[in-house]
Structure 1
């Protein structure tokens, strides 16, 4: 009885083991990984290049007095906006008012002397006609008249200088803009043409200066020459993309022999005071117009040391490693100068699933992104 039971249990165990073995057949390959592909096409586009620049005020004034004296009043709020003609500093006017009164009195005296000498010269003419005076006396009176006339001109000039000196005791803003702090305060002596009182910078519009290398400048000359004031896109530190638009209004007349670069300048409106002199700025400038540009998603471009390549999927859904020559990035896309042709299908998403060239995949076609210009792709 025990022998029959043991034999039955062994038979059942064999059947169970045989059934388990049939669940996992050996040698079966896993299915090809799913990837997303896009078809290569050409389009007309403008190529943009990014540069680092600095914001500069078009007008900067180091304010110094034209006359010497003690500061009597500071009439502005430090760091505030001021208008052209606003009085910023007042120098003690009392000595200059006294000099003006003295000049006015001296002019009155000289005018009286001129009137007397004119009468003397006219009387001498009559006396000479009747031979009551000598010719020598007549010439002496005419000379005295001419001397007094010259003195009158000198007195009038002295009065004008006195008026100017009094006018210059009020130090006014020569431009509209933002004023710095007062470097000389009330009660301190300010010397003419030497003491720095404060600085003043214009705020609207602003300049952005940046430099381009010689190769980029050469490539962009045709495009820049065709447009008298091409637009550029500008962004500040902390800003996304290039949200501001300016116009290129100056290109230097020669390259810097030390750096091999040439200077550009863009002008942009600044009504809200967003830009401050001295800030760093990112500038994006158009450098080339292309009628048939190949632009692909930058995620599709891989790097092997210093070589760039993409994965192309053929008609049999087999991947092929294709070396490419890349150009500048345009937002989220990269320009391909050579290596791809219209109609090629490249892997955009799922590249991490491809372990070697020639690997089969299960492709799914997606539309090629077309964000337009680099500025638009960057959020402009």
Structure 2
């Protein structure tokens, strides 16, 4: 006998118990029809490989800027009107090439005047010699006086001094004439001229007119700063900082420009400063880079890769095999029973297209390198063995 009481289904205002039962059955059908992502098939296929071992050098990378090995602001040593310019703006000029010429005529006249003054001084010295000889002969015959000999000898000494003064003035005049030609002190790239011919330029003072700038291009310096922690990390840092240039080890570095993917520009670390900046806690390093094609200009930014260790053995795996679990990095491995075993790892730098694993793996581990999205911890998988290969240098 069915007991009367509270109905099994609430009908609501407009529903019925049959409608509610139908909705419940539909929900069960929907759950059963969910895609296989919620229910993984048994032993999904994955590709596994053992970590590759190779010699790896640890590197640190810094941002820096290229600087000219030599740089000079061209100024005249003498004043005058600029007569000509001997280069095209922005061109490469050779050492001792004439870049600017000042009107030579006033300086040529000064040389001629100095040469004439020298000849006059030499003539006065010859006359003083003759007078001294005559006075000494007269004094030897008791005709002349000793006072006359002393006077003529002093005149000769003064004449010698006048000749020396005239010779010095002639050298100065010739130097001033030579300074009318402003030559390139080294081979490099010249800036745009700052003064056009016909202008009066001031030279020989701290306020001398700047005519242009010349910078050397090949080789070129790359300067960067490193922290105290990185400096102490490198075991040869002290020898580099304190040794002479001949004793410094040849530390090879690689440099890349901001639009490049590889460190394709080789260089040699040649200098580390002798003290840290107390404000920033950094020290300056400098590398010498060959620039035969003159593609790199001073002021260009780049990144330098400096070795921070000796070559050592390291394990390498593809980047795709590493997954992130919040702050941790995890690699999925397959054990002898075909089960997925996650292992936390400490990844390092890239080496020839593969990621260095500093901690967490052994050479015998079978790492899932493809199909890791189908692997679940503790789940069985069908492991297909593959081989990891190194990429290009």
Measured against the shorter chain, the TM-score band is 0.7 to 0.9
Structure 2 unaligned residues grouped into runs of 5+: 1-31, 241-247
Alignment partner for residue 250 of structure 1, among 254, 271, 289? 271
Shift of residue 67, structure 1, vs aligned partner: 0.2
Separation in 2, partners of 1:361, 1:146: 111
Match of 1:366 in 2: 386
Q: Describe the SS at the equivalent of 1:228.
A: coil
- CA drift of 1:254 comes to 2.6
Check whether the contact 1:41–1:343 (CA below 8 A) recurs between aligned residues. Answer: no
Instruction: Quote how far apart the aligned CAs of 1:45 are.
Output: 2.2
1:349 equivalent in alignment to 2:370: yes
- The equivalent position to 1:191 in structure 2, one of 202, 207, 215, is 202
Q: Tell me which residue corresponds to 1:302.
A: 323
Task: Say yes or no: does 1:99 pair with 2:110.
Answer: yes
Compute the displacement of 1:163 (Å).
0.5
TM-fit CA distance, 1:178: 0.9
Task: Report the secondary structure of 1:249's partner residue.
Answer: strand
- 2:313 matched residue in structure 1: 292
Counterparts in 2 of 1:298 and 1:34: CA distance versus 1, 3 Å = same
Which residue of structure 1 lines up, in the alignment, with residue 11 of structure 2? none
Q: How many angstroms does 1:229 deviate by? A: 1.0
1:263-300 superposed Cα distances (whole Å, 9 cap, x missing partner): 22222221211211111122222221243322222222
286, 289, 293: which one pairs with 1:268? Answer: 289
2: CA distance, partners of 1:235 / 1:303: 29
- Classify 1:295/1:218 alpha carbon distance in 2 versus 1 (closer, same or farther; 3 Å): farther
Are 1:32 and 2:46 counterparts? no
Superposed, 1:1-380 pairs within 5 Å as 30-193=41-204, 194-222=208-236, 228-354=249-375, 356-371=376-391, 376=393
Counterpart of 2:22 in structure 1 is none
For the Cα contact (< 8 Å) 2:56–2:351, is it kept in 1?
Answer: no
Higher mean Cα deviation, 191-200 or 127-136? 127-136
Offset from partner CA, 1:5-37 (integer Å, 9 cap, x none): xxxxxxxxxxxxxxxxxxx9xx99723332222
Between the aligned partners of 1:139 and 1:163, the Cα distance in structure 2 is 36
TM-score, reference length from structure 1: 0.85
Structure 1 unaligned residues grouped into runs of 5+: 1-23
- Cα gap change, 1:295 to 1:250, in 2 (>3 Å): same
Q: TM-score normalized by structure 2?
A: 0.82
CA distance in 2, matches of 1:29, 1:105: 109
Residue 224 of structure 1: how far off its partner (Å) = 9.5
